[in-house]
Structure 1
Amino acid sequence: MSRNTRFRAALLGLLVTLPLPAGAVDAPYEERLYRLGEVLGSLHYLRNLCGETGSLWREQMEALVTAEDPAPEKRARLVASFNRGYRSNSEIHMNCTQAVAAAIARYMKEGEQLTHETAITFGN
């Protein structure tokens, strides 16, 4: 199973297992979700830079936001985290290079780890 497939499967598992947030109280896993948003934004930019076409990583982010169904302020923070990951990489990387390929591998590993650990720690 490829890292891409494992990461997507772990993300789907996370979406299914996370408990619904209770009102205005911050979920204990919220900071992890913001970091995951940054990772997804980074992957969306970098993988497309290296030839992937489509919006898979943005769709994964949309699924995460939909599953969380956050209040408007938290939704804005999640979207901002995705955009921060996208923008920070677009300001640095203009071409697909060995460094970009290495960054993609690191983000894939981190995203897979975040989703797996969050599902295990906070899943139902």
Structure 2
Amino acid sequence: MLPEENAPKTVTVPYDDKLSRLAEVLGSVHYLRTLCKAENSGEWRARMQQLLDSEAKDEPQRKEQLTAAFNRGYRAFASVYTDCTQAAIVAEERYRNEGATLATEITSRFGN
């Protein structure tokens, strides 16, 4: 067992809930854009990696939580959509809009 002083610190920030939701949205959009063979569908996974690098680089617990949120968003749509339908396209657009709103809220309220 690790001594307490060497244990990883659990860091929380006031916008962790919004950040988790953003990670979940990124996972959803990544799945839907890949399903519908959209251009640059891998961009959303790359954006998630950027989020992890900037927000949880040296914080394994936060990284794990954000990764779990991304995977949850991905799996939620994978369990519903197996083909690119009009409903999947509409859902992707709505989630992209929600993600943009979340990113704007986080940076305008908590950005430096």
Shorter-chain TM-score tier: 0.7 to 0.9
Deviation, 1:34, is 0.5
Please say if residues 22 and 99 of structure 2, whose CA atoms lie closer than 8 Å, have aligned partners that are also in contact: yes
Amino acid paired to 2:85: T
Question: Would you identify which runs of 4 or more consecutive aligned residues in structure 1 move more than 2 Å?
Answer: none
Structure with higher RCO (Cα < 8 A, 6+ apart): 1
Percent of matched pairs sharing the same residue: 44
Aligned residue pair count: 102
- Structure 1 unaligned segments of length 5 or more: list them: 1-22
Question: Is 2:71 aligned against 1:64?
Answer: no
Amino acid paired to 1:57: W
Deviation, 1:82, is 0.4
TM-score, structure 1 normalization: 0.78
Q: C-alpha offsets along residues 22-55 of structure 1, whole Å, 9 cap, x if unaligned?
A: x634100111110000000001100111112552
Match 2:21 to one of 16, 35, 54 = 35
Answer with 1 or 2: which has the greater Rg.
2
- Structure 2 unaligned segments of length 5 or more: list them: 1-8
Amino acid paired to 2:52: V
Amino acid paired to 1:40: L
TM-score, structure 2 normalization: 0.86
